[in-house]
Structure formats: structure tokens, C-alpha cells
Amino acid sequence: MRAILVSKWTKVAIFIFCLMPFGDLVWRIIKSDLGANPVEYLQHATGDWTIRFLVFTLSITPFRKLLRLPDLIRFRRMLGLFAFFYVSLHFLTYLGPDQSFDLSAMWKDVAKRPFITVGFAAFVLLIPLAITSTTGWIRRLGGKRWQLLHRSIYVAAVCGVIHYYWLVKSDVRKPLFYGALVGILLLWRLGNWFFKKGSAVAAKLSAQRAPANSSQ
């Protein structure tokens, strides 16, 4: 299993996999097979793939621990960058067709519409994460600070779900589905943190108690 995970080819295969939704969109554009409302199709498809890749990225850590496969970490950066790739396309389908590349109109829209504000916030939050995704930046920032910064993906994912929820009119199944996934992944972290903290406190307590007991 480990041999597969660390193989260069696995990474290449996953890279190609991650590009397939993009390839599908390009192919549909060429064939003009995007339905009656092509712009909306592109907006929805890139939005869907953004939230999916955020979920994939957030699943790496739980799967590493639960499946005891630490090598899964090799794919996290790529998945995160693909989330950023799709959110950038998603943003462009908004800035272009919806706002006619008019930045001042866009800012007005962002300021006025909570549904746009929260989606835009998610996009902006992901920009520094994409920039600092390199090994060089991890070194420059130091592991602790880098990790702290990259926790903003949690906020971005939650914003993404809210953005989706506020978009739909009345059938909330899909946003709730992604909301549940993000919720599970974040709750797992919370549980893990409590558990760790709990065991650290217990270790501390028992460490304190042990010498006290022995001294009596």
C-alpha cells in the first residue's frame, strides 16, 4: 500500500483525475453541450467542484489517522490547489459574464449581497493558502505559523457551504449534503483536539500525581 502511495505515478494519476472535471467542461464548451444556460452550467459546475475539492482536502488528515496511512499527506497540497483552481474559475465565471469584468460593479455586488459576500470571502481566504502552499513558504513561515494560517480553510469551507445554501431557492438537499460532510470533517478535528487535550491534561495530572504519591 505504501509503495502505491509514494509512487510518482500515483500522483500523476491523481493529477489527471483532478483535471477531468475541467477537461469535461472544455469538451462541452467545444461541443457547445452546456445546456440552455451555458454560463450557469459553468458557474454551477466550477462551484460544485470547488466544494468537492475542499472536502477532499479536508478528508486527508482524518483518513491519514483513521486508516493509519500517513503517506496520504503527499496528495493534500495538490487537492487543495485544485480547490483553488476551481474556485478561481468559479470566480471568473462571476466576474466575466455576470459583472462584465467591471470591478466597481463587482465590489458593489460583494458589499450588498450576503450570498456573494460569503462566497467572495471564501475565495479571498484561499488566496494566501494557495500562495504559501510551497515548501519554501512552509520553511519561511515555520511549521506552527504555517499550520495556523492554513486552518483558514475551515472558515473557507464553511463560507462555501453557506454560499451554496443561500443560492438555492427551496431544495436544500445539496448544500445540506456538503454542509454535513464539512461538519463531520470539522467535528472530527474538534473531537481529536479535545481528546488530545484531554489526554495531555491526564498525562500532566498523572505526572504531577506520581511524584506526589511517591513522596508520601
Q: Which is nearer to another protein, 96 or 191 (CB)?
A: 96
Q: Which residues, 6 or more positions from 90, have their beta carbon under 8 angstroms from its beta carbon? A: 43, 46, 47, 50, 123
Of residues 132-171, which lie at the interface with another protein (CB under 8 A)?
166-167, 169-171
* CB neighbourhood size of 140 (10 A): 11
Q: Is 35 left (phi over 0), alpha (psi -120 to 50) or beta?
A: left
Tell the smallest beta-carbon distance from residue 178 to another protein (Å): 16
Tell the smallest beta-carbon distance from residue 26 to another protein (Å): 16
For residues 37 and 87, is the Cβ–Cβ distance under 8 A? Answer: no
* CB neighbourhood size of 173 (10 A): 7
Q: Does 22 bind another protein (CB under 8 A)?
A: no
* CB neighbourhood size of 199 (10 A): 10
Give the position of cell 476551481: 86
Q: Which is nearer to another protein, 40 or 71 (CB)?
A: 40
Tell the smallest beta-carbon distance from residue 106 to another protein (Å): 12
Span interacting with another protein, options 69-77, 84-92, 112-120, 180-188, rule CB under 8 A: 112-120
Binding residue (CB under 8 A) for another protein from 3, 30, 36, 103:
36
Q: How far apart are CA 192 and CA 73, in angstroms?
A: 18
Q: Does 114 bind another protein (CB under 8 A)?
A: yes
Q: Does 100 bind another protein (CB under 8 A)?
A: yes
Tell the smallest beta-carbon distance from residue 81 to another protein (Å): 28
Kindly list the residues in this chain that would bind another protein in the complex (CB under 8 A).
Answer: 35-40, 96-98, 100, 109, 112-116, 166-167, 169-173
